[in-house]
Amino acid sequence: MSHSAQPPVIHGLRGWRPLALWPLGLIMRLWGRSLHFQASPETVRCLSKTDQPVAFTLWHNRLFITAEIFRRYRHGRSVYGLVSPSKDGAWLEAFFSLVGIRAVRGSSNKLGREAVSALVDVMKAGHDIGITPDGPRGPIYEFKAGGLIVARRVQAPLLLVGCAYDASWQFKSWDRFHLPRPFSTLRVYCVEVPSVDLADREASAQELQARLRVMSPDRGPATTVV
């Protein structure tokens, strides 16, 4: 006899723990506001278009800019990201809330059924979702086709977002995470990909991977840190 799988236990933070993150959240918000953004009129138009929910898609190592892009360009929109139900995920959810990103708790392993359903519900309610197609553990710059499931199901467009840094620290993590230096300049690129272009999931993933790599070059004066 088969037994249905038990839903994962979703951990949360209690007591003083969320307050412990508040100074870090304040620093991150001020840090983001110090950055100088450069974007073409077409990119600004694409980022500012808020008539329908979108799947905001960028590489994992560019995550730092997400909250600031929404603050500057997508006024009044909420973005939801998939966060693990684990204890580590509880800390990440609390931090996200401090910088303006909301969390959907669920396993990102091959985008399980519960996670997909939760993200679909978020988009049907009119909210944007954030997708890192090479996350959560890589390989770096590999666009997993599973990242297209939700947009295809809701028939929503992707906002393909890239970024080039003039000056950043780059960590020795699996994704070689970029942390832009305060008051530095970054160039933002954005292309809207309609849902009709995602019909062939595998072929679409390969095409989007190539485009997103071009939009997020790793050239420039980046310093590698631990």
CATH fold group of domain 17-225:
Glycerol-3-phosphate (1)-acyltransferase (3.40.1130)
pLDDT of residue 178: 95
Pairing outcome for strands 178-180 and 168-171: antiparallel
DSSP state string for the chain = ---PPPPPP-----TTHHHHTHHHHHHHHHHHHHPEEE--HHHHHHHH--SS--EEE--GGGGGGHHHHHHHHSTT--EEEEE-SSHHHHHHHHHHHHHT-EEEES-TTTT-HHHHHHHHHHHHTT-EEEE-TTTTT--TT---GGGGHHHHHHT--EEEEEEEESSEEEESSTT--EEEPTT-EEEEEEEEE-GGGGSSHHHHHHHHHHHHHHHS---SSEEEE-
For residue 94, report the phi and psi dihedrals to the nearest 5 degrees. -65, -40
User: What is the DSSP pairing of strand 55-57 with strand 128-131?
Assistant: parallel
The token pair at 16 is 């003083």
pLDDT of residue 66: 93
Among residues 224, 153, 146, the alpha carbon closest in space to that of 195 is found at 153
- pLDDT per 10-residue tile (average), the chain, 226 residues: 54 67 88 97 96 95 94 91 77 79 73 80 94 90 92 95 95 94 97 94 96 88 55
185-193 and 158-165 beta bridge pairing: antiparallel
The token pair that represents 77 in the structure block: 């929109």
| Confidence (pTM) | 0.87
* Packed helices 22-34 and 66-73: angle between N→C axes, nearest 10 degrees: 60
Check residue 27 and give its pLDDT: 93
pLDDT at 12: 60
